[in-house]
Chain A
């Protein structure tokens, strides 16, 4: 297991090397320029050129790329053009909101998705099954931003139950944090619960048709025990895989939610950075996100061992 983990972690290096190079080239090759955005609409080309020189953006691309590599090896992600602070500081400031949002949404997705899938499978073909699957179909179809805006309109503007947007740190003010997080977590989690519900249902249906289930029932094992101990445990591996994928999707999906609910997380940071062409920030966020994706996948693989004793890594 340890050897496996080391091997997997080592594969992270080439993956990240490719990611940072591709991202560097892409963001520099697309049109647009941070200086033109920063200096505003009335700046003259001469002003723009002077500031480009001051930021080192007039240097050849390969020179900038090598400087970027050298900085990364020193653990330095550079300085944001816009935010007047190191990229690492900006990332650390934004990590908490994204982490809290992603985990809350994942919680919502799992709490809605897994029981829905199990209930639908247990009562296959019933009204319950149809209703839950219709709901999950809606979850897949409804765009996240539309759902978010409607949540804001009904629960904040019309009913006044919850704040429309904003963020409070869970560390300094947990109650406010909860109030701010309900709408974004539900709107982001609802979309993803649909996928989890559908996968849970099909995996449960497959497990329920196995011989050992028939045997258990023949032995007089209770329905509850059949469902949770025998069927669910065996259906869990693909469900955990989907939850892992969902976690990764949520990090990406959080971009829209963070914009709509004005949450100062990594998603909002990267959108702003792309629009402003704040190259160091874009590169930094992508590097961190790519690392998170790889680590989540690794975490899911490790979890299999605990869920299914038949799985072994050499």
Chain B
């Protein structure tokens, strides 16, 4: 017995030493230095994150700028440049305390003088800023480190709007925020983030270097927030438009990380011992947006017929190149990565695969084989694939589909003209709050003008009790499946690849971030 105890104690001690040793090794392994070369799909239209909703701008911009809030690992808002906030009893006044001693890349300290004009600009241009500032009656500085937001009505979206990473409320220096009108893209890029822009050679590279005076938060890294460390000296973003070349360059080591890869490269990447493919869950879900303003799809029965006819799993399997790890069957309008708003409702008419029901609905709608103009593009292979398979399934149910394949620039232009199409394909990325669902608004292409849907969206933007909001969101989800403003397909993951020398990359967050990432070469 004594011997056993003695042996256990020794083993425990050895294990502790090993664990401690491992801990030391891990901590030591996080080393500063080196250049991280990242292959991206293309050139950003701008690095002005207030101005554009382009994902590539979001990815790059989040290394340069920070907002008052950001998202934690569960996609909930947490403070970033804000120290804290208080809300008045009537919920109409938000007072934000700013962190002190935070420097911009130009050496100037960030204060309320910068925060007020930055968010005022953002509130006039950004999708999320406009939604929030529609509820704001007054926005001003109280002192150097305090700002106040007065609301016209109670709002549930103050913090989450300030935290979304896309088209986000980045804090620019006052001089830049005031120099560029909201609708004019800024051409000077100065933020408070861990990296600062060093050089931008269009179609060659965008070089960001570590901002030595960056003031990190004291907390541990948490999602897009918490303590952020720029370990690498430099991130070199290299636009490589040809996806096969991006794959080859990460294989040869010319790139340390490659984003937006085609799923058919997965098997080849898996076989390479020097790198590992990353399945980016929560990337987007596939959607057919239906034109409710004019044309065939103004008929709810026709929309319901489309929803009833499709068999989603074979479509997703095909789009994902047969790899089950790249698609998810899910009816929730907000993906599982945002757990707070992910719904699991039974009995929804999603993926019904009911051709008879579809035929009946077509008959009830008085459909006379008029061609449905379904717009897609080959620039995004997955869009074309799912449109093509949808066409086949719908035609089997009695629809006539006029598949119009155009380039992306044409699609995004034409989808704003209600006369030019009946449906179009796109992907819906991460949504962090039900009030931010663009396809349920009357201003976004497809034009969801249904009064019941609009009323519930407006109510949700005002309701601050999370439980009541969730009940409303579930009601809205049921309503969407009944009125069918859009067709919800499955979730599609993205494919990335990182060399084994790239360490610390957070694979769980849907978006690419290189803070707290280091290279071992």
By a beta-carbon cutoff of 8 Å, the part of chain A in contact with chain B is 30-34, 36-48, 50-51, 53-54, 82-85, 90, 93-94, 149, 152-153, 156-157, 160, 163-167, 259-262, 264, 268-269, 271-272, 275-277
Contact = CB atoms under 8 A, between A and B. Distances in A.
Contacts, number: 142
Given A38-B45, A163-B252, 16 more contacts: A34-B409, A39-B54, A40-B45, A41-B55, A42-B127, A42-B438, A47-B183, A54-B183, A84-B187, A163-B254, A164-B251, A165-B248, A167-B204, A262-B245, A272-B203, A277-B409
Interface stretch (B1-9, B170-178, B236-244, B391-399): B236-244
A44 B438 CA distance: 9
Q: Describe B's contact surface by its main secondary structure.
A: loop
A268 B443 contact: no
Contacts of A43: 52-53, 127
A260 B245 contact: yes
A100 to B, nearest CB: 15
B186 to A, nearest CB: 10
A36 B415 CA distance: 10
Interface in B219-270: 238, 240-242, 244-245, 248-249, 251-252, 254
B100 to A, nearest CB: 34
- A-B pairs, top 10 by smallest CB distance, nearest first, are A40-B53, A32-B409, A40-B54, A42-B53, A38-B45, A36-B412, A33-B413, A31-B410, A50-B183, A164-B248
Contact of B244 (A37, A85, A149): A149
B122 to A, nearest CB: 13
15 contacts: A31-B409, A31-B414, A32-B412, A41-B55, A41-B412, A42-B53, A42-B166, A42-B444, A84-B187, A152-B245, A165-B248, A264-B204, A268-B241, A272-B42, A272-B43
B416 interface: yes
A164 B250 CA distance: 10
B252 A164 contact: yes
B51 interface: yes
Contacts of A277: 409
Given A40-B53, A54-B184, A157-B251, A32 B45 contact: no
Contacts of B201: 93, 264
B167 A40 contact: yes
Contacts of B204: 167, 264
A99 B54 CA distance: 33
Interface string B48-76: 00011111010000000000000000000
A276 B443 contact: no
A166 B410 contact: no
Nearest to B166: A42
Contacts of A85: 202
B452 interface: no
Interface in B460-497: none
A165 B45 contact: no
Contacts of B125: 47
Contacts of B278: none
Given A39-B54, A262-B245, A44 B444 contact: yes
Chain B CB within 10 Å — which of A46, A93, A166 has the most? A166
Given A30-B410, A38-B52, A262 B443 contact: no
A128 B414 CA distance: 57
B277 to A, nearest CB: 15
